[in-house]
Amino acid sequence: GENVEQHPSTLSVQEGDSAVIKCTYSDSASNYFPWYKQELGKRPQLIIDIRSNVGEKKDQRIAVTLNKTAKHFSLHITETQPEDSAVYFCAASGTGGSYIPTFGRGTSLIVHP
């Protein structure tokens, strides 16, 4: 089955700095890679996703890059703000109806004002 490794487990940055979270996956059949943000006491919510036919996707201050050959993908947050503080989860999945997403262990991002 799929195995997703996520690093680092904790990331502490100053407001305005950039933050990068990296994930690797093992199953070459995976072709959908979402990122979820979970604020303290809240439910996880999708912030950005990417499919394997795209190398990079941006949405304002967040971007995701995918390297299919190396089987890794990364979340980039620029100009971090205190409200970016949360736990971020990556996941990998196929896009057929039978696929179940495999999640990374999560990264706790702390943005210091």
Partner 1 sequence: EADIYQTPRYLVIGTGKKITLECSQTMGHDKMYWYQQDPGMELHLIHYSYGVNSTEKGDLSSESTVSRIRTEHFPLTLESARPSHTSQYLCASSTLTGPYEQYFGPGTRLTVT
Q: Would you tell me which residues interact with partner 1 (CB under 8 A)?
A: 32, 34, 36, 38, 40-46, 49, 87, 89, 93, 95, 97-101, 103, 105-106, 108
How buried is 102 (Cβ within 10 angstroms: 0-12 exposed, 13-18 middle, 19+ buried)? middle
Of the pair 16, 95, the CB lying nearest partner 1 is at 95
Shortest distance, CB of residue 63 to partner 1, whole angstroms? 18
Name the β-bridge partners of 57: 64
Of the pair 40, 70, the CB lying nearest partner 1 is at 40
Shortest distance, CB of residue 16 to partner 1, whole angstroms? 24
Of the pair 45, 79, the CB lying nearest partner 1 is at 45
Residue with tokens 């990331």: 11
Please name the residues in contact with 1: beta carbons below 8 A apart, sequence gap of 6 or more.
Answer: 27, 102
Of the pair 11, 78, the CB lying nearest partner 1 is at 11
Q: How far apart are CA 56 and CA 67, in angstroms?
A: 9
Q: Which tokens hold the place of 37? A: 């943000």
Shortest distance, CB of residue 42 to partner 1, whole angstroms? 8
